[in-house]
Chains A and B, each alone.
Chain A
Amino acid sequence: MIEGVAFYILSTVAVLGALLAVSRRNLVHGVFALLLFFAALSGLFVMLMADYVAAVQVLVYVGAVGILQLFAIMLTEHVTGDDLRRLGARGWFWGLMLAVALPVVLLLPPLLNGEPPVPPAAPQSTARQLGSQLMEHYVVPLEVLALLLTGALIGAVAVAHGPEKDPPGKDRPA
């Protein structure tokens, strides 16, 4: 019973957060609504007994991605969205179609088979299993990804730094 109540609360918060995130004109409000959505999603992960994924969801999405987005928004102007310029976006139609199609596609095979999907038994220690999987079975993709991210990081520093170097410890002359 208590799981049902928690599920409906979390789902409502998630859907509301997602709706607010796309509908608010104020960008900062939008980001905070998106973070609310992420937080509710991590609650849903907890309900699926995936507490490790839930923690990572908070750590990566709410903690890191949210901060990154706020930083990026702070570098732009017209944050509050009060000005009247608008982009005539017609994406809502396709978005709606996708939102309707996705559950249908996901639920159609089990419905056709005539039996509801059986939830797999909850693993005992998710962190340990994930770690050993990453270190044994998926070690090559992991290393490639790490290399790629390091390359991206160095590239970002190179782009941000620009071609010339200022002498250290001095402000640029006016």
Chain B
Amino acid sequence: MTQTLLNLLAIAVPLAVGFASLFAFTTWLERKILARIQNRIGPNRISLPFTRFRRLFGLIQPAADGLKMLAKEDIVPRDADKLLHLLAPILSLVPPMMVLCLLPLELPYATAGMRALQAAALDNAVLLFFAITSLNTLAVFMAGWASRNKYSLLGGMRAVAQMVSYEIPLVLSAAVVIMAAGGMNAQAIVEAQRAQWFIFTPWGLAAFLIFFIASLAETNRSPFDLPEAESEIIAGYFTEYSGFKFALFFLGEYLAIFAVSGLAVTLFLGGGAGPWVAAYPALSCVWFLAKIFALIFVMIWLRGTLPRLRVDQLMGFAWKFLLPLSLLNLFVAAAALKLAKPWLSWPVGALVLYGAAVALSRSHRADAAPRTYSYAE
């Protein structure tokens, strides 16, 4: 039993520590890339004290940010629900942390016992992933409600509506992969992509795009960052949070991004597969993280270049475009898998999916038009 506990710790602790340090690196990366897009330099002033190392491209900035957050005053509004106000940031951290353990990251030092432990917990990994990430919504709502602030509550309600809506295309696009792999075990899904990554099939590509868009909305990333839209509702559900509680929300958000990108890599991009993995198995972990960071780079890129959606456009996009398309994609995938003729499934599948996407966007063109308001000019 002691051995089992030790093995569990040997899996959980590196994940928690490793991804938390990757979070620090990602904040730096995001600020640098955004700065590059906006023709600025970005953080570059902080240096390691008492050393010759000056600047280091601002890589020390996250440490300084962390220290600042720790030293800040923790303000709780007088009318806030004290207990829930305290619990919300903690709850926002728990689901992404749990979900990271479900990713088929092959830790380089893992022994046979640890592998068995991981595999035993993972038979319904994908389902468990969606189940646990749906708890994030609760944390956001809890924060919005407990703050007793109208902007917080508005942000919380927006977040709930958005996350509930986009969860459906997210799950439906993952269902395609479950169909193809014949199971929900993360390792088995990676194994099923040994010959061909699922993104290189027409239904897989469509599912990946839907999954990626929906995951942007699930993690409240731009252009779907309406729950925290600064220009409209200050900071949304975490308006009334300061100091380290704010940092916890930040950490939770980034861990959720890691988790959902990791799931996208597992489902569509072949997990840890890559060149030279057969010779050096430790490389699979590196490839996995590299693919995650490629996805995160695209997310940052989108944040730097796309404007925020309007609320009605956001909901319309999920229900009128993504949902029908992912339903159609289920049928296309089922037909392609049943026929098993790649030379036929590529042109037909791509044509059907592309045609449906064009037709759907044509039929909802009116939704994108400027609205007329009766109360405002």
Residues of A within 8 A of B (CB): 1-2, 28-29, 32, 35, 51-52, 55-56, 58-59, 62-64, 66-67, 70-71, 74, 125-128, 168-174
Contacts and interface: CB of A to CB of B under 8 A. Distances in A.
A63 B134 contact: yes
B319 to A, nearest CB: 11
A170 B374 contact: yes
Interface string B115-156: 000000001100110111011011001100100000000000
Interface of B: 1, 81, 84, 123-124, 127-128, 130-132, 134-135, 137-138, 141-142, 145, 157, 160, 164, 183-184, 366-367, 369, 371-375
Contacts of B157: 74
A127 B132 CA distance: 17
Q: What 7 pairs across the A-B complex have the smallest Cβ distances? A: A63-B134, A59-B131, A58-B131, A171-B374, A55-B131, A55-B127, A55-B128
Given A32-B84, A51-B124, A71-B160, A63 B131 contact: yes
B138 A66 contact: yes
A168 B365 CA distance: 12
B369 A67 contact: no
A51 B164 contact: no
Contacts, number: 78
Nearest to A58: B131
A169 B366 contact: yes
B145 A28 contact: yes
A59 B131 CA distance: 4
B131 to A, nearest CB: 4
A52 B183 contact: no
16 contacts: A28-B81, A28-B145, A32-B142, A58-B132, A62-B135, A63-B131, A66-B138, A67-B141, A71-B160, A127-B124, A128-B183, A168-B366, A169-B371, A170-B371, A171-B373, A174-B375
A128 B160 CA distance: 32
A170 B138 contact: no
Given A127-B123, A169-B372, A63 B366 contact: no
Contacts of A128: 183
Given A51-B124, A52-B124, A58 B134 contact: yes
Contacts of B369: 169
B135 A63 contact: yes
A126 B131 CA distance: 17
A47 to B, nearest CB: 13
Nearest to B178: A127
A14 to B, nearest CB: 17
Contacts of A174: 374-375
Contacts of B137: 63, 67
A29 B145 CA distance: 11
Contacts of B183: 125, 127-128
Contacts of A35: 138
Nearest to B128: A55
Nearest to B136: A63
Contacts of A126: 124
B130 to A, nearest CB: 6
Nearest to B369: A169
A62 B138 contact: yes
